[in-house]
Amino acid sequence: MAPVVLNKKRGKKWQKPPLEKKQRKNDPFVEKRSKTEEISNDSDSDIENEEVKDPQEFEDEGEESGSDTGSELLSDGDDPLADDFLRGSDDEEKGRDSDSGSDSDSDSDSDVSDIEKKSRAIDEERAREKEEALEEMQLNIREESDEFRLPTKEEIEEEKQQPPDLPNLQRRIKEIVRVLSNFKDLSQKGTSRKEYVQQLKLDLGSYYGYNEFLIGALVEMFPPVELMELIESFEKPRPICLRTNTLKTRRRDLADVLINRGVNLDPLSKWSKVGLVVYDSQVPIGATPEYMAGFYMLQSASSFLPVMALAPQEKERVIDMAAAPGGKTTYIAALMKNTGLIYANEMKASRLKSLTANLHRMGVTNTIVCNYDGNELPKVLGLNTVDRVLLDAPCSGTGVISKDESVKTSKSLEDIQKCSYLQKQLILAAIDMVDANSKSGGYIVYSTCSIMVTENEAVIDYALKKRDVKLVPCGLDFGRQGFVRFREHRFHPSLEKTRRFYPHVHNMDGFFVAKLKKMSNSKKTSAGPQPSETVEQQTPESNVSNGDKKTEENSEQVLMKKATTKAKDLKKKTSGLAENGNVESPSNEKRRKKRKFPSREEISKVREEKRKTLREKVSSKKAGSKDKGNEK
Amino acid sequence: MRPLDEAETTAVFEKLFKFTGNNLKNIVENPSHEGPDPNPGRYCFRLHKNRVYYVSESLVKRATNIARPKLVSLGTCIGKFTHGGKFHLTIQALSLVAANARHKVWIKPTSEMSFLYGNHVLKGGLGRITDSIAPGDGVVVYSMSDVPLGFGVAAKSMQDCRKLDPNGIVVLHQSDIGEYLRMEDEL
């Protein structure tokens, strides 16, 4: 464009050959129209030189010229001046080739000098203006940053009365985060870090909708920049994942079938061989015939982790203490290939339906479903009886805020502490049920979908103190290590083997996984106050399913009276009893079964009669209701 | 949880026989690898809260210490007894039945969804069909990719099917996998 314009201005001077060369340099020409005299290159200056000179000179030169077109264009109609102008500009520019200079010189020596001076002056002025403009800009920036100050009390009160001004809040949040990340340089004198943090908490709470407790907890755990990332990631949902059911199909085959149906999916990550992530889908992903045939399960990626850490082997006995809706249980069954035995326990009766439905849908046959409170399970299933336990503990849900926004406002300190107490009880129950001497197992996996330290590291630390267990690596190396110390807490150093997962780092829900190995079946008897021991559950000796109560009490007292030296004896006893436990039970049963049962035929007769009476009742009811209907 | 008595056992086996015929002995004598014992055990039927479960013996033994109100499910539920005392097979028996089925029907992809909503199989949706189906036989319905979709009762014999118009019912729907979504609460 520029060359054409110039052509018009210069009139007959210009001919076509220059155009050809200019087309090469068209782009830099157009770009650098603006005043950048000092910054222009060799090439820029050369372009100008070419254009202004006669075509003959132009063809002599082979060089590109610069971007002083800006100045050229301003001097409209100054054809005679154009040459001198350029020469003047040539002199000012740095590092241009000598050829262009010499060529221009050859033509117009004489009447140049005054005009040269003028042009130089103008150029210098422009240069100065530019510098001053730049300085002012920088000054403005600095001034703006210095000017950020925390709102005074009056301003805060004003804001409370008005509806929240969201852009203002957001701006202030960003400013405070910036200040906090470089506190030395950017903070206002006289305001402490605490005041900035306090204001940040208030702003974040009102902008994103968190209550004071939760935002305070998050601020304590993360530095400001990471905190912003975390909160932003809680606002967005995590991608939908599904898990291939290896009992019925393979991931590749399933992916093919789903892609044919119009689902856009990808393998989940390299750490999972059964996961798929769904980007979008033309058909409802939870209602395809493949879903109904049990080929896959909709499950979040974080739910894969505890089962991968548990790593159940075939023919083992496994308990899942909080099993509904059954995603993890079915994964365990798939890993065990339907061998062995799984006890799936769920406390809430309303969730049992979905648990059983999922188990049947996915073709799991080695599971027993029961409806107990987790604390009662050791009494029912026996102590030291199973190989592995998975405890996906009920928690406050602070890691899955992206799924459930009500957590932002509904959780308080008491809720977290209640959860923590329950989790501590459950983890002790879980540990008690595992047999430390099992050939292939002896592991407990504890996981929560929460990021609070009180529910995670504190619970594991408690378990380490109360039972003879130790932490082992989970096998999930891509997570972040758990906290070994946090504010005033100091945890056991092995807690670094636990793993934390965050939405802003791993793109999955906030999660915590810890894997414990039970070293022995004894409980640590401390030399401290004995009454505290009584609160805890039964002694390791009694295999409760058929144990006599008297022996239980006796052994408890025995434990109480004697010191840790007896623990070794207890160990021997428990290992002996654990094997003999099953032998004991039938003998106990025999002792109790003193009455004789009626024969099978008699029983079936009785039942038939009962059924008949039931049928009569039903038919009479129906007749009765029909009558009523007729009457009405 | 208790074992089935005579009348109940006959009812259950009758229903199963409709689908499997002589393969019934496969069902009963299948070696089971469940349970922590190294040797495969056997399967048995148990009744619990009017539902019949097909479970491996080792599981049964270990479920005895769970209290009756607290026990929810064992192994695979294959059906339930109604108030009137009749036995109905539920969809959870599909994997068991399909493995030993004698009469099979394959339906076209277009009529898959209709069957999964609970409708009967029409002649127009029929892809393939095994021979020698008599009316009243139990039939397992498959999709063209050999995925079992459910089961039902044959309405007509093979020869009659050929004479039917495309909207005639070939298989009366009894149970399909869509029930996992539609009727999760009633399973």
* pLDDT tens digits along A163-192: 878 888 888 889 888 888 888 877 777 788
Q: Which residues of B touch A371 (CB under 8 A)?
A: 69-72
User: Which SS3 state, helix, strand or coil, does residue B57 take?
Assistant: helix
What residues have CB less than 8 Å from A631, skipping those under 6 apart?
Answer: none
Residue B73, pLDDT above cutoff 70: yes
The pLDDT score that the predictor gives to residue A624 is 67
The partner residue sitting opposite B5, judged by closest CB among A354, A380, A600, is A600
Catalytic site residue A474? no
d(C-alpha A186, C-alpha A176), whole Å: 10
From residue B181, alpha-carbon distances to A331, B53, B113 in Å are 20, 21, 13
A432 residue type, one letter? D
Helix pair A166-181, A224-235: axis angle to 10 deg:
140
Q: Do A341 and B112 touch (CB under 8 A)?
A: no
Q: Which residue has the higher pLDDT, A278 or B166?
A: A278
Q: Which residues of B touch A292 (CB under 8 A)?
A: 116, 177-178, 180-181
Summarize pLDDT for A405-425 with one digit per residue, the tens: 899 999 999 999 999 999 999
Do the domains spanning A239-299 and A301-518 agree at the CATH topology level? no
Q: How many CB atoms lie within 10 A of CB A208?
A: 17
Length of chain B, please? 187
Return the C-alpha torsion angle A573, A574, A579, A580, nearest 10: 60
E strands, A245-302, where? Answer: 263-267, 275-281, 296-298
Q: Do A339 and B33 touch (CB under 8 A)?
A: yes
The pLDDT score that the predictor gives to residue A183 is 82
Give the DSSP letter string of B68-115.
Answer: GGGEEEESEEEEEE-TTS-EEE-GGGHHHHHHT-S-EEEE-HHHHHHH
Q: Which tokens is A360 given?
A: 């049947």
Q: Do A372 and B71 touch (CB under 8 A)?
A: no
To the nearest whole angstrom, how far is the Cα of A297 from the nearest Cα of chain B? Answer: 13
Q: Do B66 and A611 touch (CB under 8 A)?
A: no
Mutate to test the interface with A, among B4, B27, B30, B33 (most CBs of A within 10 A): B33
Q: Point out the residues of chain A with pLDDT beneath 70.
A: 1-111, 141-147, 525-597, 624-632
Please report which confidence band the pLDDT of residue B21 belongs to, taking 50, 70 and 90 as the band edges.
confident
Phi, psi dihedral angles at A348 (to 5 degrees):
-90, 120
Q: What is the CA radius of gyration of chain B?
A: 18
Catalytic residue among A241, A395, A449, A474: A449
To the nearest whole angstrom, how far is the Cα of B159 from the nearest Cα of chain A? Answer: 31
ipTM of the complex, rounded to two decimals? 0.94
Closest C-alpha to A265, from A295, A238, A257, A331 = A257
The pLDDT score that the predictor gives to residue B166 is 86
To the nearest whole angstrom, how far is the Cα of B154 from the nearest Cα of chain A? Answer: 22
Domains of chain A, residue spans: 153-235, 239-299, 301-518
CATH of domain A239-299: 3.30.70.1170
CATH of domain B103-183: 2.30.130.10
The partner residue sitting opposite B5, judged by closest CB among A387, A545, A607, is A607
d(C-alpha A622, C-alpha A625), whole Å: 5
Summarize pLDDT for B91-127 with one digit per residue, the tens: 999 998 998 899 999 999 999 999 999 999 998 888 8
CB A357, CB A324: distance < 8 Å: no
Q: What is the architecture of the domain spanning A301-518?
A: 3-Layer(aba) Sandwich (3.40)
Q: What is the architecture of the domain spanning B2-96?
A: Roll (3.10)
A65 residue type, one letter? S
Please report which confidence band the pLDDT of residue B23 belongs to, taking 50, 70 and 90 as the band edges.
confident
**Chains A–B, number of C-beta pairs less than 8 Å apart:** 125
d(C-alpha A116, C-alpha A110), whole Å: 11
Give the DSSP letter string of A420-455.
Answer: HHHHHHHHHHHHHHB-TT-SS--EEEEEES---GGG
Mutate to test the interface with B, among A296, A339, A366, A546 (most CBs of B within 10 A): A366
The pLDDT score that the predictor gives to residue A631 is 54
User: Which residue blocks in A347-474 are alpha helix, DSSP H?
Assistant: 352-361, 377-381, 407-410, 413-433, 457-466
CB A511, CB A482: distance < 8 Å: no
Q: Which tokens is A20 given?
A: 């050809």
The pLDDT score that the predictor gives to residue A147 is 56
CB A443, CB A449: distance < 8 Å: no
Q: Which residues of A touch B178 (CB under 8 A)?
A: 292
To the nearest whole angstrom, how far is the Cα of A195 from the nearest Cα of chain B? Answer: 54
The partner residue sitting opposite B75, judged by closest CB among A257, A316, A365, is A365
Please report which confidence band the pLDDT of residue B78 belongs to, taking 50, 70 and 90 as the band edges.
very high
Question: Which H, E and C letters describe A103-156, residue by residue?
Answer: HHHHHCCHHHHHHHHHHHHHHHHHHHHHHHHHHHHHHHHHHHHHHCCCCCHHHH
Please identify which residue in the block is written with the tokens 């990332």: A229
Q: Do B56 and A290 touch (CB under 8 A)?
A: no
Q: Percent of chain B at pLDDT above 90?
A: 53
CB B2, CB B47: distance < 8 Å: yes
d(C-alpha A617, C-alpha A624), whole Å: 10
Domains of chain B, residue spans: 2-96, 103-183
Q: Do B5 and A603 touch (CB under 8 A)?
A: yes
